[in-house]
Structures are given as structure tokens and as C-alpha cells.
Amino acid sequence: MPLTLTLTEGVIPAGSEKQAVAQLSAAMLKHHGLTANKVMTPNITATVHVLPKTTTFSGGEEFSGAWVEWKVPSFAFASREVQLGYFEEATNIIEALSGGKQPRDNIYVNVIHTVDGAWNFDGRAMTNEEIMAAIS
């Protein structure tokens, strides 16, 4: 389940990206009831992209933003309770790591769902049902 964390340079202190990934990943597992799950935990991956302020925009104007994006099977983040809880916690994580300097309205969280069967563990395409069986 890849996390893509994109930040405008300076939103959080340089070097704290690893902490952000660890906290955002732990929160995702927690909100899905999968903390320390032996199958799901190692399948939470992440990439971090830190971009110069001259390359991030809102309304066509330069600004500083933070984007937390998950690509997951369609059963993940399907519950409104999970959505509300995770999105609030993710926003809190970025705000706290910024030292309170990053405005909450410039922290964005979204989820992209994959087609059932278009997900793999260990190089094997798996359906939602197969993934659920593996993590239970």
C-alpha cells in the first residue's frame, strides 16, 4: 500500500521526512485495525518528494503545501469512520512536524483505489478477498 508524501521544501524540517512516513504509516495501520499485522506492515511502502516552493501552486500562485496520498485496494479507507479519523490524524501529524507553521488548509489527504485483482503481494496479483484472507 504505497504512501506518496509530497511536501514543499520547508514545510517540515529537512530530515524529518522519515518520522513523517513512520507516523503516517502507523496511523494508517491503526485506523484499519492492522497495527503490527505481519502481512500488511511490510506492504506499507512510501516515497517522499520534496519540491521547491517555485514548483507548488494553489490557484495558480506559488504556495507551500503538503500532500498525503495513498494507493490502496478498494476495501481500504472505505469506512467513513476510518476516513475521518485518518485524515484528521494525518493533518495533525504534518501540522505538528511543521512546528505549527503549516496551515491545516494547505495539508491535503487523499486516497486512490485500485481495481479489484490489480494488487500484488510477493509478485502475485491478488483480489480483495485474497488480500483480506492473507491479512486476517
3-state secondary structure of 96: helix
If you average pLDDT over residues 97-111, what whole number do you get?
A: 98
Q: What is the pTM of this model?
A: 0.94
| pLDDT value at 16 more than 90 | yes
Amino acid 122: pLDDT: 83
Residues 58-73 pLDDT 10s: 999 999 999 999 999 9
Residues 27-54 pLDDT 10s: 999 999 999 999 999 999 999 999 999 9
Instruction: Find the range with the poorest average confidence among 51-55, 63-67, 87-91, 124-128.
Output: 124-128
**To the nearest whole percent, how much of the chain has pLDDT over 90?**
90
- Beta strand pairing call for 107-113 and 66-72: parallel
Residue 55: all three cell numbers together = 514548483
**Closest by alpha carbon to 119, among 12, 27, 40?**
40
Question: Which domains are seen in the chain, by residue range?
Answer: 2-135 (3.30.429.10)
**To the nearest whole percent, how much of the chain has pLDDT over 70?**
100
Amino acid 61: pLDDT: 96
Q: What are phi and psi of 89, to 5 degrees?
A: -65, -40
